[in-house]
Amino acid sequence: MTDENRHGGKPPLVVVALGGHAFMQRGETGTHDDHLRNADAICEQLMTLVERGYHLVITHGNGPQVGAQLERDEMCGDTQPIRPLDVLVAQTEGSLGYYLQQSMLNSLRRRDIRRFVVTVVTQVIVDRDDPAFEHPTKPVGPFLAEEEAKRRERELGWSVAEEKGRGWRRVVPSPIPQKVI
């Protein structure tokens, strides 16, 4: 039975929103294998919807991954240029999309389901006067002890904030998107 027949017309669409931590479970460090294993587990769970004929749009966060990439860039800052945050966001968005796309294609093939899977890196328009630029609140990267967070704030110009009971993290601007382009 085709998707169109099962639902009496066009297949229903489901939007699935994942946080960046869905790719890094507690105790994991965010290795390639961690990301791939977690993407596999996510896609296996989503196959229930696919097998019922739903079409999926999967969106995801990438805070932990952006923070890790920022840290890598800063560690190499003496020999390599540090890239702007928007470039790192796009890079990590693309890599997580790649993990999901590979895992979804593998899950579909195991079930002999023929579907297209596409990764799209998005861009948004924001208001340059958004207060988020003056008061960053979006946590990225690993949790740090207060002393280390304050050192990085002082020496690297980071903005940091405490997450009660969990530690300190770098915070970056996260302006409200005005439009997806």
Q: Do 150 and 135 fall into the same domain? A: yes
- What's the total number of domains in the chain? 2
Report yes or no: 59 and 19 within 8 Å, Cβ to Cβ: no
Question: Which DSSP string do the residues of 99-148 spell out, in sequence order?
Answer: HHHHHHHHHHHHTT-----------EEE-TT-GGGTS--EEEEEEE-HHH
Domain carrying residue 111:
1-123
Q: Do 65 and 148 fall into the same domain? A: no
**Does 106 score more than 60 pLDDT?**
yes
Confidence of residue 11 (pLDDT cuts 50, 70, 90): confident
Q: Do 7 and 81 fall into the same domain? A: yes
Residue 181, domain member (yes or no): no
Confidence of residue 1 (pLDDT cuts 50, 70, 90): very low
Residue 180, domain member (yes or no): no
**Does 67 score more than 90 pLDDT?**
no
**CATH number, position 53:** 3.40.1160.10
**pTM for the full predicted model:** 0.84
Confidence of residue 5 (pLDDT cuts 50, 70, 90): low
Whole-angstrom distance, CA of residue 167 vs CA of residue 145: 6
User: Alpha helix locations (H) across the chain?
Assistant: 3-6, 32-51, 63-75, 85-110, 146-156
Q: Do 134 and 153 fall into the same domain? A: yes
Q: Do 34 and 64 fall into the same domain? A: yes
For residue range 130-143, what is the model confidence (pLDDT) as tens digits?
A: 999 999 999 888 88
Q: Do 104 and 171 fall into the same domain? A: no
